[in-house]
Chain A
Amino acid sequence: MEKEKFLQGNEAFAEGALYAGCNFFAGYPISPSSEIAEYMAYELPRRKGVFIEMEDEIASMGAVIGASLAGAKAMTATSGPGFSLKQEHIGFACITEVPCVIVDVMRGGPSTGTPTGPAQGDVMQARWGTHGDHPAVAIAPSTVEECFYEAVRAFNISEKYRNPVILLIDEVVGHMREKIRIPKPGEIEIINRRRPNEAYDDYLPYKPDLGGVPNIANFGTGYRFHITGLSHDWSGFPTNDPKRIGELIQRLTKKVEKGEDEILRWEEFMLEDAETAVVAYGSVARSAKFAVKCARNAGKKVGLLKLITIWPFPVKPLKRLAEHARKVIIPEMNLGQIVLEVERVIGGKADVIPINRVDTELISPDEILVKL
């Protein structure tokens, strides 16, 4: 049955997660993300899934990883202060390769900051928030519909690559309402983690398989093995062998790099002949699109690169636009985070002009338009 719904970004994300087969949610309330927990608290018990409110975000993330190891498709949702607390366990999920989805509905400022004001200040935290070298996958939707579809994609990516996937939703997208069509079951492909098929006795949980991703069994399925946050070899047991440690850390990053064709997503808008390009993500991309349309109407050769996946950083479309653009404008609701990546990729081939706001006010189309 096809359905249309008028939903908030946060609710659409929850719907998308359920569509993807999410059957476990553990969380701790925090604005502006709580609607996701509330939606899941209502829906999951009715679908034989599990919802639990934990004592804090560290515990939520631990429960999510535990549930995923027991075979659940698990997620949590939070905002800046909680996202900081989750970092230790996000690293645990990276090194132990446990699929899970983490939503960070971004608020303004460090610490408690501005709980209900929009910002995009957690971009670098999504990349490097947990310590040590590790792969990061982060997605920043800019519409309610994208919240739904990217939720499905987030679960698919996390299951396939066995890595946490982070959703960076800004407060505007999280709370804004738009009409969306909920696809029919089966309309979007749902990917589930691969299961091992070795005999129980020969089983090496961390032996890389397709694309360097191991087939780790779910607990309780007949296999018997060990999982640790210590550096480990294919058997899953800790190792101090520099060769094995090096292999592990490199494989983790490489498995995500190898999947970039599938993981990366962006939209190009009027970029073909653009002499000035705007690079934007999240709610800011909406202002940017409007500004680009206005400038085109005024006869200017401008275009927009809207990033949907932000980590790994989509290098290809940026390199392409740098072939003809002389000016690249990066509006962000932070003091300049993605702009650093843009500068790195463009390597001086075009002028890079940041537009930054950290007062929890949206960046308006006008503010972008004057730079075009």
Chain B
Amino acid sequence: MAFDYSKYLRNDKMPHIWCPGCGNGIAMKSLIRAIDALGYKKEETVIISGIGCSGRISGYLDFNTLHTTHGRPLTFATGIKLANPKLNVIVVSGDGDCAAIGGNHFIHACRRNIDITLIIFNNYIYGMTGGQHSPTTPSGSYSTTTPHRNIDPQFDLSKLAIGAGATFVARETTYNIFALDKVVIEAFKHKGFSVVEVMVGCPIYYGRKNGFKSAFSLLDWQRKNAIRMERAQSMKPEELEGKFTTGILHRREVPEYTQLYYTLTESFEKSVDKVSMERE
């Protein structure tokens, strides 16, 4: 039987604003399937997004949802999870949202290791504002603000996440949705800060500016350039030029922040009066 997405969507908010062929819908469906697989209760799940085409996802998903400011959804998520650790907290952020304006919040969220899952919709471009280049736009490609070619170096978001201390980092494509589902489920299950970088196509801006004639050609590009991690390990750096690795790139078990925090608070006696007296 076909999967029934409608029970997780706010069907009265359709049609969505995404362009035909946009990869955001593919990634959203994977997220829904993963939530379904884990049986998360809607009332106990908060989905937080930033600003951008990707950010609009929070309006479509039928959970507790928070559409925040550009680049800063992780800061709100941090407050929510710390105030109520029982909630499942999921953040969706675009590449610009996450790595440009939100770069500082991103690295610190990775470092802290609060049990939040961050799903980055990396489409190599600022979609919402009309196709300006982002920190993940490949060098040499075109955008409305790099009309003569992009000379900026490109961020590798997964490497950045690993470097900043994230305890679970995976990258997948909207081409390989089976693999994507798997890593999203693993990310949700991980106790700590987990990052899934999803390569999504923006045919309207990144695609059109860079010779991709259709939405499919972007998916095909993902197919050709995604190298599974296991295979990449036996390849030479020259062979990996212009390609990206996929799979669970990094995973380690480290005590989770809210658990550490609440273990600390429990070590104090309840009596507030006694505490205040000590300070006098």
A contact set with B: CB distance below 8 Å: 1, 3, 5, 24, 26, 42-43, 45-50, 52, 54-56, 58-72, 74, 88-89, 92, 219-230, 237-238
**Interface of B (DSSP majority class):** helix
Min C-beta distance of A45 to chain B, whole Å: 5
Given A92-B68, A224-B64, A229-B69, check contact A67 B83 (CB 8 Å): yes
A-facing residues in B34-58 (Cβ within 8 Å) = 42-44, 46, 48, 58
A72 to B167 Cα, complex, angstroms: 28
The count of A-to-B residue pairs whose CB atoms sit within 8 angstroms is 148
Write the B238-280 contact mask toward A (1 if CB under 8 angstroms, else 0): 0000000000000000000000010011001010110110011
Q: How far is the CB of A69 from chain B (nearest CB, A)?
A: 6
For A223, the chain B residues whose CB sits under 8 A away are: 43, 64
Interface size bracket, B side: 35 or more
What are 16 A-to-B residue pairs whose CB atoms are below 8 Å? Answer: A43-B275, A45-B265, A62-B68, A62-B72, A63-B75, A66-B76, A66-B77, A74-B79, A92-B68, A219-B80, A226-B67, A228-B59, A229-B68, A229-B69, A230-B67, A237-B13
Taking each of A5, A56, A70, A222, which has the highest tally of chain B beta carbons within 10 Å of its own beta carbon? Answer: A70
Say yes or no for B62: interface residue by CB 8 A criterion: yes
Residue on A with the closest CB to B66?
A227
Residues of B within 8 Å of A221, CB to CB, are 43
Determine whether B63 belongs to the interface, using a CB cutoff of 8 Å to chain A. Answer: yes
Complex Cα gap A61–B265 (Å): 23
Contacts A5-B280, A47-B275, A59-B104 given: A66-B69 contact, CB under 8 Å?
no
Write out the residue numbers on chain B whose beta carbons fall within 8 Å of the beta carbon of A92. Answer: 68-69
For residue B215, CB closer than 8 A to chain A, the reply is no
Residue of A nearest to B65 (CB): A226
Nearest 5 pairs of A and B residues by beta carbon: A62-B75, A66-B79, A63-B79, A67-B79, A66-B76
The verdict on B7 contacting chain A, using a C-beta distance below 8 Å, is no
Question: What residue of chain B has the Cβ atom nearest to residue A48's Cβ?
Answer: B265
A5 to B83, CA, bound (A): 30
How far is B260's CA from A134's CA once the two chains are assembled, in angstroms? 39
**Are B65 and A70 closer than 8 Å at their CB atoms?**
no
Instruction: Find chain B residues with CB under 8 A from A43 CB.
Output: 275-276, 279
Q: Write the chain A residue with the least CB distance to B79.
A: A66
Q: B79 near A65 (CB under 8 angstroms)?
A: yes
B80-A70 in contact (CB<8A): yes
Tell me how far the C-beta of B210 lies from the nearest C-beta in chain A, rounded to whole angstroms.
30
| B265 A55 Cβ-Cβ under 8 A | no
- Asked if A3 and B276 make an inter-chain contact with CB atoms under 8 angstroms apart, the answer reads yes
Does B128 have its Cβ within 8 Å of any Cβ on chain A? no
Bound: A230/B49 CA distance, A:
13
> What residues of chain A lie closer than 8 Å to B273, measured between beta carbons?
1
Write the B92-107 contact mask toward A (1 if CB under 8 angstroms, else 0). Answer: 0000000000001100
Chain B residue nearest to A47 in the complex (CB) = B272
Determine if A220 and B82 form an interchain contact, defined as CB atoms under 8 angstroms apart.
Answer: no
B78 touches A52 (CB 8 A): yes
| B280 neighbours in A (Cβ, 8 Å) | 3, 5
Chain B residues in 8 Å Cβ range of A227: 65-67
Contact of A88 among B67, B69, B78, B80 (CB under 8 A): B69
Partner of A70, one of B62, B79, B108: B79
Judge whether A46 and B275 touch: CB under 8 Å: yes
Q: B84 on the interface (CB 8 Å rule)?
A: yes
Task: Give the residues in chain B near A224, CB-CB below 8 Å.
Answer: 42-43, 62-64
Which residues of A have CB within 8 Å of B43?
Answer: 220-224
Interface residue from A61, A67, A225 paired with B82 (Cβ < 8 Å): A67
Chain B positions within 8 Å of A66 at CB level:
48, 66, 75-81, 83
Contacts beyond the supplied A64-B79, A226-B66: 7 A-B pairs with Cβ under 8 Å: A26-B79, A59-B75, A62-B72, A66-B83, A74-B83, A220-B86, A225-B65
Residues of A within 8 A of B42 (CB): 224
Q: With A65-B79, A66-B77, A226-B58 in contact, is A59–B72 under 8 Å at CB?
A: yes
Of all chain B residues, the one with the shortest Cβ separation from A96 is: B66
Contacts of B46 in A (CB 8 A): 70, 219-220
Which of A49, A60, A62 is in CB contact (< 8 Å) with B69?
A: A62
